[in-house]
Structure 1
Amino acid sequence: MSTTPTAPPVTAFMLVKTTQEWLALSVQQRIDAFTTQVLPVIEAKTKGVRSRFYDTEFYSARVTDVWVWEADDHQAYQLLVDALRETPFWDRYFEVVDLLVGTENAYARTYGVDPVATVTT
C-alpha cells in the first residue's frame, strides 16, 4: 500500500488580551458567547482545526491568554483566521496582540535529520 506524504500541521500561537467588554460579561455569558458566536462560525467555515486555550493573565499584563490552534494545513489556518475575524472575539472581546505560526520540527525535515527533543521520566 502506498502512502502519500502529508504536509506537517500548522501550529499558531495566538497571543490575545481581554477587553473590558469581555470582562464585563459573566462567566456563563462568556461560555454562551463562545458556543453561540464563535464555534458555529469556525465549524461552518473550517475543517481540520483543533484548539487549546491557556490563561496567562497571572503572569503577563500584555497577554492574558494564548490560544493554540493546530490546523491540518495552511489553507485550514487561513480559513480559521478569516472565520474568527467575522466573530466578536476578534478585536471586540479580545485584542490580538501577536500571531506566532510555525510547523513543528521543520528544521529536521529541511535537513533530513531526526528531531531533537527532551524526554523525562
Structure 2
Amino acid sequence: MPAAETAPPVTAFMLIKTTPEWLAMTPQERVNAFATQVIPAIKAKTTGVRSRFYDTEFYSTRVTDVWVWEADDHDAYQLLIDALRETPFWDRYFEIVDLLVGTENGYARTYGLDPVATITT
C-alpha cells in the first residue's frame, strides 16, 4: 500500500443471540444494563467505531440480532472487541454466534477497479 493511502475501515457483522438472563430482564432493565455496563466500557477503551443494531429474531432462531460495527482500522476494532469481552454483554447477556469481518469493496481496492458490486437503484 502506498504511504499516502490509509487502511480501509473494518466492518464487522456481529451475529448474536440473546440469553435467558437478558430476556428475564424488563425492557427498562435491559436499557439500563446496556447504558451503564456496555456503552461506558466501549467509550473508555476505543475511538473510531460506529454501530448499527438490527433485530432479526422474527426471521431467525439461530441469531436474534445483528450488531454491525465499523471501525476506522484494525486496532480500533480489536480494542472494541477487547472492551466488549470485559462486559456482561459478551457471553452473559448475548451469545456471540459468529463474527463476519471484512473491508468494503476490498477486491476493487486490490485490483484498482470500480466497486461493481455496490448497487444503488
- TM-score between both structures, scaled by the size of structure 2: 0.95
Tell me, which stretches of 5 or more residues in structure 1 are unaligned? none
Query: SS at the partner of 1:88?
Result: coil
Give the Cα separation in 2 of the matches to 1:42 and 1:13: 17
Unaligned runs of 5+ in 2: none
Deviation at 1:5, TM superposition (A): 2.2
1:2-43 superposed Cα distances (whole Å, 9 cap, x missing partner): xx4221100000000000000001111111011100010000
Work out whether 1:58 is the aligned partner of 2:75: no
| 3-state SS of 2:62 partner | coil
Between the aligned partners of 2:58 and 2:30, the Cα distance in structure 1 is 19
Who is 1:88 aligned against?
A: 88
Q: Which position in structure 2 is the counterpart of 1:46?
A: 46
Poorly superposed stretches of 4+, deviation over 4 Å? none
The TM-score, its normalising length taken from structure 1, stands at 0.95
Tell me the matched-pair count.
118
- Describe how 1:90-105 pairs up with structure 2 within 5 A: 90-105=90-105
Match of 1:119 in 2: 120
RMSD (Å) for aligned C-alpha atoms: 1.1
- DSSP-derived class of the 1:13 partner: strand
Matched-pair identity in %: 79
